[in-house]
Amino acid sequence: MRKKQRCIVCRKLSNDGIMINGRELCKSCEKRLLNIDINTDFYEYYKECIRKNIVNTTIRGEDIKCQDFHF
């Protein structure tokens, strides 16, 4: 079992969601994001949370490597 992390959207402790670039997105936020209409404020909020928490770490120059990933 991996260590619980806070969801990047709702900030609740979670260990059942998906990991994106080392950050957690809880299962309930993942489901909401998959079913949300892109023309809503909620979609913009989710997009902003993801941008702040994931994209900024990529821009800072961290190497992103997929371990043992093969096509």
Q: What is the pLDDT of residues 9-63, one digit of tens each?
A: 999 998 888 888 888 899 999 999 899 999 999 899 988 888 888 765 555 555 5
Work out the number of other CB atoms within 10 angstroms of the CB of residue 24.
Answer: 25
For strand 18-20 and strand 23-25, is the pairing parallel, antiparallel, or unpaired?
antiparallel
12, 6 Cβ separation under 8 angstroms: yes
Give dist(CA 7, CA 50) in Å, integer. 10
In a domain, 66, yes or no: no
Claim: this prediction has a pTM higher than 0.75: no
| pLDDT for position 37 | 93
In a domain, 68, yes or no: no
In a domain, 15, yes or no: yes
Structural domain total, the chain: 1
The residue segments making up the domain with residue 12 are: 5-59
In a domain, 69, yes or no: no
Q: In terms of Cα–Cα distance, which of 58, 57, 32, 56 is closest to 45?
A: 32
